[in-house]
Chains A and B, each alone.
Chain A
Amino acid sequence: MPSQIAIGAAVPGCAKVDPILIADNVRRQFGGNVAVDVEHVEIPRGLITALIGPNGAGKTTFFNLLTGFDQPNSGDWTFDGVKLAGVPAFKVARMGMVRTFQLTKSLNMITVMENMRLGAQKQPGESLLRALIKPLWKRNEDAITARAAELLTRFKLDAKSDDFAASLSGGQRKLLEMARALMTQPRLVMLDEPMAGVNPALTQSLLEHIRGLKNEGMTVLFVEHDMHMVRNISDWVIVMAEGKIVAEGPPNEVMKNPAVIDAYLGAHHDSDLGTEKQAKGN
């Protein structure tokens, strides 16, 4: 497997056989604090890549930069060959690179179904003037609704379809956010801590859904703390620490990498990698 993903050795910033996202010299400073300083990284297409690292490693900031929610001080990155530096977030999403948020952003005072419909692209009724004439968007709306209903069934939210999103549990909101992101028909799905604050049973179903995305041909890049999850599901792991990529490789090999152990555990070398909360470091 690994030999098919990377070209050459699995070192930080190594080239991939078929990258979907390539970032170069992406740097973001907050005052004197360098939050992200990524020299080179490539995300392999059609696979599940985990971005891991201790708290404050710059994972979420890197996510924000790549998706246009924050602007870097310098740097370039391309998605499927298209330059993305300076492209606003909504255009990034339209290109097929969709993200979710660490703190779930379900739209509480609109229904679950409306949340889903909002994810659809190219609905002519979203233009102010065409919105006034229902026949111009009714057919599109029916198609969107059918697709949304299908996704809701898959994510076991179909019974909640007409409820306000506010009535969902925390885990269900995570599912809704993921399902809604899929409504945009993305090529690259970026999940920021999809498993945070979700009970173990739901975590399993979330993992299944993430595998499902891969089986449908989508590329997944997700941020996670828990190494056990990462090992189970990902094809490739990228480790960040203090804003930099410190290691890359297939999950089992990355975890043996001394740089990762250092970054993650500091002095607590012998702790279980899966219990990062206690072990996370000094």
Chain B
Amino acid sequence: MDLILGNAISWLFQPITAAYALAAIGIALHFGFTGLLNFGQAVFMAVGAYGFSISVKFFGLGFWPAVGVAVIASIAMAFLLGIPTLRLRSDYLAIVTIAAAEVFRFIVSTTSAQPVTGGPQGLNQYSEGFYAMNPIPVGHYKFWVWDFKQDDLFAIAVSWLVVTFFAVLLAILIRSPWGRVIKGIREDEDAVRSLGKNVYSYKMQSLVVGGLMGTFAGILFVLPTSVQPGNYGTTLTFYIWTILLLGGASTVIGSIVGAMIFWSLLSLTGDLLSTGVDNGTITFLTQNQVGAIRFMLVGVALMLLVIFRPQGIFGNKKELYFNA
């Protein structure tokens, strides 16, 4: 039991959780504050993951230059997606982003791209430069049921440092006059235009900044593991949206807590079910079905949440009352 609980609790601070939280903060800026429907956050994460890992593996760059390449690629991607769509109605951005994410995934996973992107196998072993910066002495660090290596601790610490940095950045931005313009655009962009603001430029800035958050999330996502093209499908984007709506779309902290709850819940339900199946308490399921069932349970939990608390955990209920 301790192990199950420990497992679930460990998902509160895993680097993966941090990566999802950061990607969700990105779409909080896009959707919650600017009203941009970005249904392709996966592409910004993929750009981060591939931009970074290809720079290291294929071009032999160091850690920081590789991060720089990912950042430049992310900005380029934001412009590529934004220039044709941001003058149009918001649904066009949604269509283009979701398509771009799929196109990107198919391109990197083709066998002809294998020498660069690793094709369907993806890439691994590009994190040496990152772990070389680890100041934590080599060894095993045991707390309660957990057993961390120095590299695990380093990845956790860096991940949450990055998340905190961007969360604070966004909190400052949305409380500034810049954030006021952004929120105005969410409400009615023609009104904001009539007040002398360059709406197109603001939407582009929002797309770039939120996309950069997705890109850093992509780097955090792959640093402790490997790059798998299959990870960057539409499900990734929808998990991030789930996390966003769980925590509350127009909040910063909501994305972080949403990611923690999402992953802990997933781990807890999965572990509980599979233990139940193992010791014979649950007889109507097989071990293979558990993986699918837990997503169903999480889905039901989210449906209940949307019905009974549509503003998300941290959302302002007042904002919904008026939304006639």
Residues of A at the B interface (CB closer than 8 Å) are: 67, 69, 88-91, 93-94, 98-101, 105-110, 114-115, 117-119, 121, 123, 125-128, 131-132, 134, 137, 141, 164, 166-167, 177, 180-181, 183-184
Contact = CB atoms under 8 A, between A and B. Distances in A.
Given A99-B194, A110-B180, A132-B169, 19 more contacts: A89-B194, A90-B193, A93-B193, A98-B194, A98-B196, A101-B191, A105-B191, A108-B322, A114-B184, A115-B184, A117-B177, A118-B180, A118-B192, A128-B205, A128-B209, A132-B173, A166-B323, A181-B194, A184-B196
A237 to B, nearest CB: 24
A221 B1 CA distance: 75
B289 to A, nearest CB: 43
Given A93-B196, A131-B172, A109 B183 contact: yes
Interface in B265-324: 318-319, 322-323
28 contacts: A89-B193, A90-B195, A90-B197, A93-B196, A94-B196, A98-B194, A98-B195, A105-B188, A106-B191, A107-B183, A107-B188, A107-B192, A109-B322, A110-B180, A110-B183, A117-B180, A118-B180, A118-B192, A119-B195, A126-B177, A127-B178, A131-B178, A137-B177, A166-B322, A167-B322, A180-B195, A181-B195, A184-B195
Given A90-B199, A105-B188, A128 B178 contact: yes
Interface string B179-208: 111011011101111111111000001000
Contact of A131 (B177, B195, B319, B322): B177
Nearest to B177: A125
Contact of A126 (B181, B187, B191, B209): B181
Contacts of B186: 109
B176 interface: yes
Which of A106, A128, A183 neighbours the largest number of chain B CB atoms within 10 Å of its CB? A128
B190 A101 contact: yes
A107 B185 CA distance: 9
Which of A93, A177, A184 neighbours the largest number of chain B CB atoms within 10 Å of its CB? A93
Contacts of A110: 180, 183-184, 187
A126 B184 CA distance: 12
B188 A131 contact: no
A226 B211 CA distance: 50
Nearest to B324: A166
Interface in B146-169: 169
B83 to A, nearest CB: 16
Nearest to B250: A109
Contacts of A114: 180, 183-184
Contacts of A117: 177, 180
Nearest to B190: A105
B173 A131 contact: yes
Nearest to B322: A166
A100 B172 CA distance: 31
Contacts of B179: 131
A125 B180 CA distance: 10
B184 A118 contact: yes
A107 B319 CA distance: 12
A180 B191 CA distance: 10
Contacts of A177: 191
A98 B196 CA distance: 8
- Give 4 nearest A-B pairs by CB, closest first: A166-B322, A125-B177, A131-B178, A131-B176
Interface in B52-72: none
Contacts of B183: 107, 109-110, 114
Given A90-B196, A90-B198, A164 B176 contact: no
Given A118-B184, A131-B179, A109 B319 contact: yes
Contacts of A118: 180-181, 184, 192, 195, 197
A126 B132 CA distance: 40
B194 A93 contact: yes
Given A132-B173, A137-B177, A164 B193 contact: no
Nearest to B209: A128
Contacts of B194: 67, 69, 89-90, 93, 98-101, 105, 181
Contacts of A141: 177
A100 to B, nearest CB: 8
A88 B190 CA distance: 12
A163 to B, nearest CB: 10
B178 A121 contact: no
Contacts of A93: 193-196
A125 B176 contact: yes
Given A90-B198, A94-B196, A167-B322, A69 B180 contact: no
Contacts of A183: 195
Contacts of A126: 177-178, 180-181, 197
Contacts of A184: 195-196
Which of A94, A109, A137 neighbours the largest number of chain B CB atoms within 10 Å of its CB? A109
Contacts of A166: 322-323
Nearest to A117: B180
A110 to B, nearest CB: 5
Contacts of A181: 194-195
B176 A132 contact: yes
Contacts of A91: 196
A211 B198 CA distance: 31
Contacts of B180: 110, 114, 117-118, 126
Contacts of B319: 109, 164
